[in-house]
Structure 1
Amino acid sequence: MEAESIGLHGVRETLLITLRAKAAESALPDSLLRDRFAADLLRRLDGKAKTPDVGHDMTIGIAMRAYMLDRWTRAFIDRHPDAAVLNLGCGLDTRILRLDPSSSIAWFDVDFPDVIALRRRLFPERAGCTMIASSITERSWIDEIPSDRPAIVVAEGVLPYLSGQDVLDLLRRLTTCLSGGEIVFDAYSHLGIELLRFNPSLRATGAELRWGIEDARALERDVAGLTLLEDIHNYDAGQIARMSPVARVAIHFFSAIPMLRRMGRLLRYRF
Structure 2
Amino acid sequence: MDVEKVPLDKKHHILVPGPRARAEDNQSRRPILGDSTAEAVVATLSYDAKSKYTKGDRVGVAIRAKQLDGWIREFLGRNPEATVLDLGCGLDGRARRIAPGPGVRWYDLDLPEVIAIRERIPALAPVNGAHSVIAASVSDPGWLDDIPRDRPVFVAAEGLLMTLTEEEVRDLFVRLVTHFPGGELGFNAFNPLALRLQRSHPAVRALGVTFQWGVDEPTDLEAWHPRLSFVAELAPVESPDIDRMGPTERLISRLMRRSRRLLRLDRLVRLRF
TM, length-normalised to structure 2: 0.93
> Residue 134 in 1 paired to residue 133 in 2?
no
Question: Residue 30 of structure 1 corresponds to which residue in structure 2?
Answer: 30
What is the alpha-carbon distance in structure 2 between the residues aligned to residue 263 and residue 115 of structure 1? 27
CA contact (8 A) 1:17 1:201 kept: no
**Partner SS for 1:235:** helix
> Residue 42 in 1 paired to residue 42 in 2?
yes
Measure how far apart 1:166 and its partner are: 0.7
What is the alpha-carbon distance in structure 1 between the residues aligned to residue 101 and residue 86 of structure 2? 16
Deviations 1:17-61 (A, max 9, x none): 11111001111111110000101111121xx12254222111100
Moved over 4 A (4+): none
**Partner SS for 1:153:** strand
CA contact (8 A) 2:3 2:43 kept: no
Question: Residue 120 of structure 1 corresponds to which residue in structure 2?
Answer: 119
Residue identity in the other structure for 1:4: K
TM, length-normalised to structure 1: 0.93
**Partner SS for 2:60:** helix
What is the alpha-carbon distance in structure 2 between the residues aligned to residue 260 and residue 162 of structure 1? 22
Q: RMSD across aligned C-alpha pairs, in angstroms?
A: 1.6
Residue identity in the other structure for 1:97: R
Query: How many residues are matched?
Result: 268
For structure 2, the residue ranges without an aligned partner over 5 or more in a row are: none
Measure how far apart 1:8 and its partner are: 5.0
CA contact (8 A) 1:83 1:150 kept: yes
Deviations 1:122-165 (A, max 9, x none): 12243211100001010100012110011000001110111111
> Residue 167 in 1 paired to residue 164 in 2?
no
What is the alpha-carbon distance in structure 1 between the residues aligned to residue 261 and residue 74 of structure 2? 31
Deviations 1:198-235 (A, max 9, x none): 33332221111111100100100123311011111362
In the TM superposition, 1:1-271 aligns within 5 A as 2-7=3-8, 9-10=10-11, 12-45=12-45, 48-51=46-49, 52-122=51-121, 123-125=124-126, 126-233=128-235, 235-236=237-238, 238-271=240-273
Q: Identify which range, 237-246 or 135-144, moves more after superposition.
A: 237-246
Measure how far apart 1:4 and its partner are: 2.8
Q: 1:187–1:237: structure 2 CA closer, same or farther, 3 Å change rule?
A: closer
CA contact (8 A) 1:22 1:35 kept: yes
What is the alpha-carbon distance in structure 2 between the residues aligned to residue 34 and residue 222 of structure 1? 36
For structure 1, the residue ranges without an aligned partner over 5 or more in a row are: none
What is the alpha-carbon distance in structure 2 between the residues aligned to residue 90 and residue 170 of structure 1? 16
What is the alpha-carbon distance in structure 1 between the residues aligned to residue 236 and residue 6 of structure 2? 39
What is the alpha-carbon distance in structure 1 between the residues aligned to residue 82 and residue 18 of structure 2? 26
Measure how far apart 1:70 and its partner are: 0.3
What is the alpha-carbon distance in structure 2 between the residues aligned to residue 63 and residue 124 of structure 1? 22
CA contact (8 A) 1:155 1:184 kept: yes
Residue identity in the other structure for 1:36: S
CA contact (8 A) 1:3 1:43 kept: no
